[in-house]
Amino acid sequence: MRICVPVGALVFLLEKSSMAWVPIVAMCVTGATNGAAGRRTQQQAGSSRSDTTTAAAIATNAIGFHGSGRGISQTLPAAGLPKPDDLPAPDPACRTRESGRSVGRRENYGVLRPYHPFVIEVVGLTKNYGSLVAVDSISFTVASGHILGLVGPNGAGKTTTLRALAGVHPPTDGTIKICGVDLRLDPVNAKKHLAFMPDEPRLFDYLTVEEHLQFTARLYQTTNYRQQLDTLLDEFELGDKRKALPTELSRGMKQKLMIACGFIHSPDVLIFDEPLTGLDPLGIRRMKESIRSRAKAGASVILSSHLLHLVEELCDSVLVIQRGRRIAYGTIDELKWQIAQGRGDVSLEEAFLRITAGP
């Protein structure tokens, strides 16, 4: 089976879950649905409408879409973290990966990206839904090899922020840059560098585990992906499920498959929304190791979770939002120190509760 769409062509699919039109950038894909998927073509035709949502979700993930707080008396300063307005100009020289953390890397699609001091740069991000201000002028940065924890109460605007970063919901105002590329001005190139893993995995009903990874790799025009595919199957304990359909997978296995699809093209930016949902204790440990290892290899990570012990364990810095506004931003130790007023016995959970408690 051959599916060929010119690179850069926009295909609009309706994402049923959010009832929003999601722009999908389709690339030339050859044989992505061969094998078992090809033999099930007739079955697919009968369920094309239900698969529309799935297609939007997988394709947004594959192309990198996906898919007035009152706290302490004043907003906590981001001590020790550069302000977005003070960002230095990117170094025009291109560099390849050095040992340890990345300062620039050769992508699977064959280009060298310049070195940038901050891989993720967000300035004045605002998202309105009619008269509702869901996200109100949020700014932050994430350097290469660093993990930012995004936390806040229910309805604070965390998922809206992540979807804006991934390009699912374009911001009303503000600037988002991924590896120095403006997401609004050059969305295709910006999204090549990222992967978004939402809290709910959405998979193709008639693609096997292996075919999901093949399809995603070909969307990104990833070369020599087969070794990476086998490595990911082993890493996420899906080797014996490579020929299984999503209906044969548990909730935790679906979560692992979705994240494996996000890793297949070795993105510079990883965006997670509750990545441990549905995983057993061993799966949780291995998922934390997977996230940590990719940050050490140079990826910039944003992780949103209500599990504050996870944030405290993995993250270098934390951004706390409430009612769409940034109310605290800094390293975890800095936030705990400010809340504790010099004491060293305050957990991130206690700091969070005090920050978001109100006057």
Provide the pLDDT confidence category of residue 350 given band limits of 50, 70 and 90. Answer: confident
Return the pLDDT at 349: 82
Provide the pLDDT confidence category of residue 69 given band limits of 50, 70 and 90. Answer: very low
Return the pLDDT at 334: 83
Distance between terminal CA atoms of the chain? Answer: 62
In angstroms, the CA 133 to CA 127 distance is 6
Task: Report the chain's mean pLDDT, rounded to a whole number.
Answer: 74
Please tell me the class of the 84-193+299-356 domain. Answer: alpha beta
Return the pLDDT at 358: 64
In angstroms, the CA 197 to CA 192 distance is 14
pLDDT single digits (tens) 95-124: 333 333 333 333 333 334 445 578 999 999
**Average pLDDT for 257-285:** 94
pLDDT single digits (tens) 149-166: 999 999 999 999 999 999
Q: What is the CA radius of gyration of the chain?
A: 20
Closest CA to 309 of 268, 252, 253, 350: 350
In angstroms, the CA 63 to CA 328 distance is 31
- Distances in Å between the alpha carbon of 65 and those of 170, 184, 204, 270? 10, 13, 17, 11
**Statement: residue 7 has pLDDT above 60:** no
Q: Where in the chain is the domain with CATH 3.40.50.300?
A: 84-193+299-356
227 token code pair: 């070794």
